[in-house]
Amino acid sequence: MPPFTGSYTLDDVQFLLKPMRVKDTPVHLKEALIQSGKKHYSEMLSHESLPTNDYVALFQTAMALNQERVAKHLLILAKQIIATRPQGITLVSLARAGTPIGVLLKQVLKRHFKINATHYSVSIIRDVGLDNNALRFILQQHAPESLVFVDGWTGKGVIARQLAASLADFGLSDGVVIPAELYVLTDLSGSATVAASCEDYLIPSSVLNSTVSGLVSRSVYDPHSSGADDFHGCVYYQHFTEQDLSRYFIETMLACVKRVSHSGDFEPPIINREQLQRISQTLLCDLAEQYSISHANYIKPGIGEATRVLLRREAQRLLLRDLNAEATRHLRWLAESKSIPITVCSDLPYQAVALIKEINL
């Protein structure tokens, strides 16, 4: 069976995911099943619709506004990876948000630093963990110390903590020690090991779903139907091929990286992780109290996380620091199209926070 690459090529990435059919679960039903504990979110997918022309225009605006910043951060992150992996680099992006960033890093390393890194994309799921079968597959061919786990951004740090816990468990079960280090473009919560930034800015790939991620869904995992040797699953939306922007995003970003690479200002920032962690924890406590939220899982800080909520979950409210900020125009569009209340909080430490609606069960 040929390697699964979605709508990318093998020179971009190999998804260690099992394409499968998954029955659509309506968003309101999915939310009820998650909050009642009857099903884990990873067992279900809601119907994914193609974005409208108006919404694609917001993606194009995000590209125009932020591609230079992303390009600079890619070069910074690539240099940091090289510095911390002198014995070789194996990129392991966390599907799905990490995948486009991993593809870009692979190509940046190759084109600007003459380093050929292999790139895999694997599933990591909150409460479930990393896909150990995918990890074992990678370790058959690559040294554990070469692995570089890549994501787009951090929100509350849940995935960074899940990664650390999963790798600790893997060390016990398989006897292989893998550095529990997460590399991201921007680290809002102070939970990544290496980051090119800690700004809450609009990474354009966060605006769209599968049509910027190789036509691949987020990963799914049903412990009742998965085989012992199976990778976690996904849906491959091949019928969206005509509307796929995955290749466009990569090629446009790489052209931008080539332009900005001549500026030479690619020193990594000094990031105070402890301060970022305090800001994150204070916000979570304050919002939980102010809006009577029972669990931090229902608070999604930052543009990237808020976008995911408005695309895939039942949102109670969208909080914005500035109602007229260009960076959150797509969030306003989504909220207004779904009649989700918007509250302006000028003292927010991030550009946006989405609150998930709690269902009375």
User: How confident is the model over 10-21, as a mean pLDDT?
Assistant: 96
Give pLDDT tens digits for 219-231: 999 887 788 889 9
Tokens of residue 330, six digits:
């797509």
pLDDT at 47 over 90: no
Q: Which pLDDT belongs to residue 223?
A: 81
Q: For residue range 186-215, what is the model confidence (pLDDT) as tens digits?
A: 999 999 999 999 999 999 999 999 999 999
Which class is domain 273-356?
Answer: alpha beta
Query: Band of the pLDDT at 10, cuts 50, 70, 90?
Result: very high
pLDDT at 1: 64
Q: What is the mean pLDDT of residues 146-175?
A: 96
**C-alpha angle 181/253/217, rounded to 5°?**
65
- Where does 14-260 sit in CATH, by number? 3.40.50
DSSP 278-324: HHHHHHHHHHHHHTT-S-GGGEEESHHHHHHHHHHS-EEEEEES-TT
Measure the CA angle with vertex 97, ends 263 and 163; round to 5°: 105
What is the tens place of the pLDDT at every residue in 282-315?
999 999 999 999 999 999 999 999 999 999 889 9
In the structure, what pLDDT confidence band is assigned to residue 237 with cuts at 50, 70 and 90? very high
End-to-end alpha-carbon separation of the chain, Å? Answer: 45
Q: Where along the chain do the CATH 3.40.50 domains lie?
A: 14-260
Q: Residue 90: enclosing H or E segment and its boundaries?
A: strand 90-95
Q: How far apart are CA 200 and CA 82, in angstroms?
A: 25
* Separation in Å, CA 221 to CA 22, 44, 172, 186, 354: 10, 8, 22, 27, 25
Mean pLDDT of 320-340: 95
pLDDT exceeding 70 applies to what percent of the chain?
99
Instruction: Please report, for residues 85, 180, 198, 210, 288, the alpha-carbon distance to residue 203 in angstroms, rounded to integers and kept in the order given.
Output: 25, 24, 12, 15, 27
> What pLDDT shows up at residue 326?
93
Mean pLDDT of the chain: 94
Q: Residue 322: count other Cβ atoms within 10 Å of its Cβ.
A: 14
| pLDDT at position 359 | 81
Give residue 247's pLDDT: 97
